[in-house]
Amino acid sequence: MKYIGKKLATMLITLLGISFLVYLAFDIIPGDAALAALGTDATPESLEALREQLGLNRPFLQRYFEWLFNFIRGDFGTSYKYHIPVADMIVSKLPITVIMAMLSFFIMVVISLPIGIYTAKHSGKWADHLIMTVNQVMMSVPHFFMGIMITYFFGLVLRLFTPGGFVSYETDFRGFLAYIIFPCIAIAIPKIAMSVKLLRSSCIEEAKKDYVRTAYSKGNNTNKVLYRHVLRNAIIPVVTLWGMTLADMLVGSIVIEQVFNIPGIGRILLTSISYRDYPVVETIIILIAFVVIVSNFCVDIIYQLIDPRISVQD
Amino acid sequence: MEKKRAYSLNFIIGAVITGVMLVLILTGFIHTPYDITKMDSTAKLAAPSLEHLMGCDNFGRDIFSRVLKGMGNTFTIAVATVAIGAVCGVLIGAFTGYFGGWLDEVLMRINDVVFAFPSILLALVFVSIFGTGKYNVVAALGIAFIPSFARIVRGEFIKYKDMDYVKSARLAGVPKLRIIFVHILPNTMPVLMSSIMIGFNNAVLAEAGMSYLGIGVQPPDASLGSMLSESQTYLFSAPWYAAFPGLMIILMVLGFSLLADGNTKRV
């Protein structure tokens, strides 16, 4: 419990720190929020009135805490460009990006586990060499180029899906899944390669330890030793990697959304950046950072479940 | 014990690929077969031929020349990024690791905050505040890379600072700065080198991603990422337009990661 408590405290501090830094960054930017909202032909009086209304005349810390409380309540402010609440812009897009990240994560775990175990079990044989060579190349492919290749081969040559023919999850959930499975594979492949490599070397490393010999000498066969003993220890560094990839996948889906023409969070983020629509940019960035930090926290907890030896000191 | 070979096969392959890439990059700095902005309306989306080794893009510009220049851009951005990250990271890591105390505590918390922030996201914040362009990307990615270096170097310094050779140096009255940079720092090199190599690869991938999104190197300057982004419209009619820039990114990263692999195994 002490462990969870300490991790929880660290997480909350990090969350506060990030929200403060992002708010500060967007507060000191050159340019005036009121001017940005009203345009250059605004009168000085209306500018002053809007500044008063937005609370821009108050001290920084006061504004930060007010903004923070509003944020926690789900009030993310109003878009400069579209003059609608940011929450309304994001709420229908968030599921797309989150589902994509989760599906990619799922694909990664399901595919990398068996391949990693297989290569570790057969290390040194030709199948292992072949898989590891392919693996090494896959690790070097940027996921958006993987996306382009998948578009070309599966979309244009094999015609398994229509590039650009995104279906909203609200109208047709199966069609939505059938489309996003391809970008998700593109996100997952480089990560699969990394986890296979790590799982393989981790298994081989564990198999050299004394307890494995003991387990064998007690009459266990290879599979029993592997699944009951070796894997439990070998999986720990892989879980760390998976925890870190969760963040990458969320950010990765922002990039991959552009490859596959998916109107998710990434699209809003990029257009908002080009319009300098700061409330939207700020909200999305903080939301993503929150998800990343919370998932890191979950990994820390899962960690201790897998390996109770990990304690506060580590 | 396994028989030790001087260099593994991976290392040799990595060295060859990286060597070829470096030669191409250097060539690109000095000379490109065509001017990278010269448009030839008769050669729009031309297929690879002896005249245009990698074909031409939608404006009739020579893809090979643009790939050479783009690789150079990616390479310099990656080197600059890693340099910023490594120098700042080493300084922060060395001082916090050696001295400890409240400064260490504060800096490490800030470090955790930045570390928790995906590097592309940090770069996006930077770009939305300061505008797009090469230098902003370098600054943003450089800052994003500091924590990982700082963390590694700090760990190494904590490991070494209470060793006997450091203690005896301290007793002999060697100044603290000299202990840090002359006595301890060289010992962290093996670990530092491999994280520099990994960092370089991450920088190449991040830069390509940013340029792909249109917030890195700005046109008409060439970059592998922005070429990929442009090529997508013509994917069906001119697949080679996408293939060559993509292939070059893969080779750059592959060569370096094979080198890094061989390097860590030798340490």
Which residues in chain A touch residue B229, judged by CB atoms under 8 angstroms apart?
A: 258
Q: According to the model, what pLDDT value does residue B87 have?
A: 94
Counting one residue from A and one from B, how many pairs have CB atoms under 8 Å apart?
Answer: 114
**Rounded alpha-carbon distances, angstroms, from residue A133 to A138, A190, A199, B27, B100:** 9, 13, 15, 30, 43
What mean pLDDT is predicted for residues B9-26? 87
- Distance, in Å, from the CA atom of A293 to the CA atom of A15, rounded to the nearest integer, reads 7
The answer to whether residue A15 neighbours chain B at the CB level (below 8 Å) is no
Lowest mean pLDDT among A149-163, A178-192, B53-67: B53-67
pLDDT at B5 over 60: no
The answer to whether residue A291 neighbours chain B at the CB level (below 8 Å) is no
Better pLDDT: A6 or A187: A187
Q: According to the model, what pLDDT value does residue A38 have?
A: 66
The answer to whether residue A127 neighbours chain B at the CB level (below 8 Å) is no
Residues A76 and A279 sit within 8 Å (Cβ to Cβ):
yes
Are A26 and B129 a contacting pair at CB < 8 A? yes
Which residues in chain B touch residue A255, judged by CB atoms under 8 angstroms apart?
A: 120, 209, 212-213
Q: According to the model, what pLDDT value does residue A54 have?
A: 66
- List CB contacts of A23: < 8 A, sequence separation 6 or more: A64, A67, A68, A282
* pLDDT, tens digit, 9 for 90 and up, residues B144-168: 888 888 888 888 888 888 888 888 8
Q: According to the model, what pLDDT value does residue A184 have?
A: 92
| Residue type present at position A189 | I
pLDDT at A208 over 70: yes
- Distance, in Å, from the CA atom of A88 to the CA atom of A279, rounded to the nearest integer, reads 13
A65 — pLDDT class (breaks 50, 70, 90): confident
3-state secondary structure chain A: CHHHHHHHHHHHHHHHHHHHHHHHHHHCCCCCHHHHHHCCCCCHHHHHHHHHHHCCCCCHHHHHHHHHHHHHHCCCCECCCCCCEHHHHHHCCHHHHHHHHHHHHHHHHHHHHHHHHHHHHCCCCHHHHHHHHHHHHHHCCCHHHHHHHHHHHHHHHCCCCCCCCCCCCCCCHHHHHHHHHHHHHHHHHHHHHHHHHHHHHHHHHHHCCHHHHHHHHCCCCHHHHHHHHHHHHHHHHHHHHHHHHHHHHHHHHHHHHHHCCCCCHHHHHHHHHHHCCHHHHHHHHHHHHHHHHHHHHHHHHHHHHHCCCCCCCC
pLDDT at A265 over 90: no
- Distance, in Å, from the CA atom of B25 to the CA atom of B70, rounded to the nearest integer, reads 9
Are B118 and A248 a contacting pair at CB < 8 A? yes
Average pLDDT, chain A: 82
**Spans of all domains in chain A:** 2-72, 87-306
Q: According to the model, what pLDDT value does residue B221 have?
A: 79
- Distance, in Å, from the CA atom of B225 to the CA atom of B242, rounded to the nearest integer, reads 10
Q: Which domains does chain B have, with CATH numbers?
A: 9-263 (1.10.3720.10)
B2 — pLDDT class (breaks 50, 70, 90): very low
Residues B184 and B158 sit within 8 Å (Cβ to Cβ):
no
List the single best residue of A157, A273, A283 to mutate versus B (max B Cβ within 10 A): A273
Query: What percent of chain A is modeled with pLDDT above 90?
Result: 9
Selecting from B109, B214, B254 the residue whose C-beta is nearest the C-beta of A136 gives: B254
pLDDT at A111 over 90: yes
Sign of the torsion angle spanned by Cα atoms A27, B209, A146, A165: positive
**Rounded alpha-carbon distances, angstroms, from residue A24 to A222, A252, B156:** 57, 26, 33
**Rounded alpha-carbon distances, angstroms, from residue A184 to A174, A254, B241:** 15, 12, 24
Tokens of B191: 């670990």
Pick the CATH number of A87-306 from 2.40.50.140, 1.10.3720.10, 3.40.50.150, 3.40.50.10300: 1.10.3720.10
Are B116 and A293 a contacting pair at CB < 8 A? yes
Which residues in chain B touch residue A187, judged by CB atoms under 8 angstroms apart?
A: none
Tokens 């903004």: give the residue: A67
Selecting from B125, B235, B239 the residue whose C-beta is nearest the C-beta of A285 gives: B125
Q: According to the model, what pLDDT value does residue A9 have?
A: 85
Specify which of A212-216, A307-311, B40-44 reaches the highest per-range mean pLDDT. A212-216
* pLDDT, tens digit, 9 for 90 and up, residues A6-36: 888 888 888 888 888 888 887 776 566 666 6
- Distance, in Å, from the CA atom of B267 to the CA atom of B257, rounded to the nearest integer, reads 15
Query: What percent of chain B is modeled with pLDDT above 70?
Result: 94
Which residues in chain A touch residue B127, judged by CB atoms under 8 angstroms apart?
A: 273
The answer to whether residue A78 neighbours chain B at the CB level (below 8 Å) is no
Are A276 and B213 a contacting pair at CB < 8 A? no
Q: According to the model, what pLDDT value does residue A185 have?
A: 92
Which residues in chain B touch residue A140, judged by CB atoms under 8 angstroms apart?
A: 201, 249-251, 253-254, 257
- Distance, in Å, from the CA atom of A301 to the CA atom of A83, rounded to the nearest integer, reads 41
The answer to whether residue B12 neighbours chain A at the CB level (below 8 Å) is no
| Phi and psi angles of residue B118, each rounded to the nearest 5 degrees, phi first | -55, 140
Q: How far is CA A243 from the centre of its chain?
A: 9
Q: According to the model, what pLDDT value does residue A39 have?
A: 66
* pLDDT, tens digit, 9 for 90 and up, residues B39-86: 777 767 777 777 777 777 777 788 888 888 889 888 999 999 999 999
Tokens of B160: 């070494």
Which residues in chain A touch residue B10, judged by CB atoms under 8 angstroms apart?
A: 136
What mean pLDDT is predicted for residues B197-225? 85
- Distance, in Å, from the CA atom of A26 to the CA atom of B126, rounded to the nearest integer, reads 10
The answer to whether residue B1 neighbours chain A at the CB level (below 8 Å) is no
How far B131 CA lies from chain A's nearest CA (Å)?
Answer: 9
Q: According to the model, what pLDDT value does residue A36 have?
A: 64
Sign of the torsion angle spanned by Cα atoms A65, A68, A73, A78: positive
What is the number of other CB atoms lying within 10 angstroms of the CB of residue B237?
A: 10
**CB within 8 Å of chain A, chain B residues 214-233:** 214-215, 228-229, 231-232
Q: According to the model, what pLDDT value does residue B267 have?
A: 47
A237 — pLDDT class (breaks 50, 70, 90): confident
- Distance, in Å, from the CA atom of B27 to the CA atom of A71, rounded to the nearest integer, reads 52
- Distance, in Å, from the CA atom of B192 to the CA atom of B93, rounded to the nearest integer, reads 11
A78 strand-pairing partners? A85
Q: According to the model, what pLDDT value does residue B1 have?
A: 40
Tokens of A27: 């507060």
pLDDT at A312 over 60: no
List the single best residue of A145, A191, A271, A287 to mutate versus B (max B Cβ within 10 A): A145
pLDDT at A45 over 90: no
Query: What percent of chain A is modeled with pLDDT above 70?
Result: 92
Selecting from A149, A156, A288 the residue whose C-beta is nearest the C-beta of B236 gives: A156
- Distance, in Å, from the CA atom of A140 to the CA atom of A222, rounded to the nearest integer, reads 33
Residues B180 and B98 sit within 8 Å (Cβ to Cβ):
yes
What mean pLDDT is predicted for residues B28-33? 78
The answer to whether residue A16 neighbours chain B at the CB level (below 8 Å) is no
**CB within 8 Å of chain A, chain B residues 150-169:** none
Selecting from A13, A276, A288 the residue whose C-beta is nearest the C-beta of B121 gives: A288
The answer to whether residue A244 neighbours chain B at the CB level (below 8 Å) is no
3-state secondary structure chain B: CCCCCCCCHHHHHHHHHHHHHHHHHHHHHHCCCCCCCCCCHHHCCCCCCCCCCCCECCCCCEHHHHHHHHHHHHHHHHHHHHHHHHHHHHHHHHHHHHHCHHHHHHHHHHHHHHHCCCHHHHHHHHHHHHCCCHHHHHHHHHHHHHHHHHHHHHHHHHHHCCCHHHHHHHHCCCCHHHHHHHHHHHHHHHHHHHHHHHHHHHHHHHHHHHHHCCCCCCCCCCCHHHHHHHHHHHCCCCHHHHHHHHHHHHHHHHHHHHHHHHHHHHC
Q: Which of B124, B129, B159 is nearest to B144 (CA)?
A: B124
Minimal-distance CA residue of chain B relative to A23: B125
The answer to whether residue B257 neighbours chain A at the CB level (below 8 Å) is yes
Q: How far is CA B182 from the centre of its chain?
A: 27
A314 — pLDDT class (breaks 50, 70, 90): very low
ipTM of the complex: 0.82
Residues B77 and B137 sit within 8 Å (Cβ to Cβ):
yes
What mean pLDDT is predicted for residues B105-113? 78
Q: According to the model, what pLDDT value does residue A173 have?
A: 82
- Distance, in Å, from the CA atom of A291 to the CA atom of A269, rounded to the nearest integer, reads 16
